[in-house]
């Protein structure tokens, strides 16, 4: 276990579903300790796709809990949100739930893609559904599109942070190579 990053085991860069769940729950603990509505709203917004991958129905319930902030004391909102969040994070995402999230993400830039790009995207999703591509790999492929269209909502999602496969990403090419080979 690495002291700087407890989710990095030193052997590889893969994190488990338990690591992901623990990370999300710990971030919620930070929200609770801040005791500010804006922080629970920011948490919910940043974790939308993460929660959707675990349970789309419960995502709507969490949204309703957040929406009740004017009618219910904040302490009750925190408690109810936390109870639902813990139940959600115990559920493991499936190929079907991940595919649903990917399609939601696709919807954010669908109108900006040409027919070839749409075909490539849908082919990639089909490979994922057929277990020929990992969720990390497909998110790695989508990530540049979110930056290309400057979608800060998508780029701030913990879903990309925790599920993307960073093993193959070269953030900065070696100095002796051309930028766009």
Residue 72 belongs to a domain: yes
| Straight-line distance from the first to the last Cα atom of the chain, in angstroms, rounded to the nearest whole number | 38
Report the Cα 60 to chain-centroid distance in Å.
Answer: 16
Among 9-18, 102-111, 163-172, whose mean pLDDT is lowest?
163-172
Whether 101 and 140 map to the same domain: the answer is yes
Cβ proximity of 128 and 99 under 8 Å: yes
The confidence band for 13, taking pLDDT boundaries of 50, 70 and 90, is low
Q: Is the pLDDT of residue 36 over 90?
A: yes
Whether 86 and 99 map to the same domain: the answer is no
Whether 27 and 78 map to the same domain: the answer is yes
Q: Is 16 helix (H, G, I), strand (E, B) or coil?
A: coil
Whether 82 and 102 map to the same domain: the answer is no
Cα–Cα distance for residue pair 53/32, rounded to 1 Å: 23
Which of the listed residues 44, 63, 90 is the one where a domain comes to its end? 90
Residue 32 belongs to a domain: yes
Number of domains within the chain = 2
- pLDDT given at position 162: 85
Average pLDDT over residues 154-172: 72
Whether 100 and 76 map to the same domain: the answer is no
Q: Is 127 helix (H, G, I), strand (E, B) or coil?
A: helix
Residue 172 belongs to a domain: no
Cα–Cα distance for residue pair 156/28, rounded to 1 Å: 16
Cα–Cα distance for residue pair 77/81, rounded to 1 Å: 6
| Domain boundaries, position 99 | 95-163
Q: Is the pLDDT of residue 104 over 60?
A: yes
Residue 119 belongs to a domain: yes
Q: Is the pLDDT of residue 87 over 50?
A: yes
Residue 120 belongs to a domain: yes
The confidence band for 7, taking pLDDT boundaries of 50, 70 and 90, is very low
The confidence band for 6, taking pLDDT boundaries of 50, 70 and 90, is very low
Whether 105 and 85 map to the same domain: the answer is no
Contacts of 96 (CB under 8 A, 6+ apart): none
Cα–Cα distance for residue pair 43/143, rounded to 1 Å: 20
Cβ proximity of 168 and 58 under 8 Å: no
Residue 5 belongs to a domain: no
Residue 181 belongs to a domain: no
Residues 110-144 have pLDDT tens digits of 899 999 999 999 999 999 999 999 998 999 888 88
Closest CA to 57 of 90, 84, 20: 84
Whether 70 and 115 map to the same domain: the answer is no
Q: Is the pLDDT of residue 174 over 50?
A: no
């Amino acid at each position: 276990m690495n002291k700087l990053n407890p989710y990095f085991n030193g052997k590889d860069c893969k994190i488990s579903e338990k690591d992901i769940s623990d990370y999300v729950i710990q971030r919620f603990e930070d929200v609770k300790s801040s005791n500010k509505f804006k922080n629970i709203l920011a948490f919910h917004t940043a974790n939308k796709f993460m929660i959707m991958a675990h349970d789309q129905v419960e995502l709507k319930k969490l949204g309703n809990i957040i929406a009740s902030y004017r009618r219910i004391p904040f302490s009750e909102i925190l408690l109810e949100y936390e109870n639902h969040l813990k139940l959600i994070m115990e559920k493991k995402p499936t190929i079907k739930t991940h595919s649903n999230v990917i399609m939601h993400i696709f919807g954010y830039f669908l109108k900006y893609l040409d027919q070839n790009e749409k075909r490539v995207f849908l082919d990639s999703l089909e490979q994922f559904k057929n277990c020929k591509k990992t969720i990390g790999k497909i998110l790695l492929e989508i990530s540049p599109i979110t930056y290309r269209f400057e979608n800060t909502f998508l780029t701030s999602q913990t879903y990309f942070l925790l599920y993307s496969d960073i093993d193959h990403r070269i953030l900065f090419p070696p100095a002796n190579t051309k930028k766009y080979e």
